[in-house]
Amino acid sequence: FIFGALTLYLQDDIFIKMKPTIVNTLFGGVLLGGLYFGRSLLGYVFESAFKLDAEGWRKLTFRWGLFFLFLAIVNEVVWRNFSTDAWVTFKVWGIMPITLLFTFSQMPLILRHSLDDKAGGEEKAGK
């Protein structure tokens, strides 16, 4: 909302183009910062959906943190080097497939670090 309002008020599309960079940098920074302080933050959010061991949550959090930073860098490259039309096309048709491919590529890690509920020895999500 803020970036859209700034774009309209100042009549400068730079704010709307920078929003994905800022948001993705924040997400990546928070995830990687959590790891620095010994917290696998994805574990807190998704532990009810996925049962992973602590190492699995650390690896998944690290990968998603890097992925968000990658998206921030790619957004910067695209909006600074291509036309607004190309940037919009990339935002609409590029980000979603890239994110889906990345998400599906994490399945082997999730399967490898899944905890068997029957074993009873579930570890907490890096807490």
Mean pLDDT of 37-46: 93
Between the two ends of the chain, the Cα-to-Cα distance in Å is 34
Going by pLDDT thresholds of 50, 70 and 90, the confidence category of residue 16 is confident
Q: Is the pLDDT of residue 30 over 50?
A: yes
The residue that leads in pLDDT, 15 or 57, is 57
Mean pLDDT of 46-56: 92
Compute CA 26 distance to the chain's CA centroid, rounded to the nearest angstrom.
9
pLDDT at 13: 75
pTM: 0.83
Percent of the chain, pLDDT > 70?
Answer: 82
Convert the pLDDT of each residue in 84-119 to its tens digit: 999 999 999 999 999 999 999 999 999 999 997 645
Relative orientation angle of helices 95-105 and 54-81, to the nearest 10 degrees: 160
The ranges assigned to domains in the chain are: 20-117
pLDDT at 116: 74
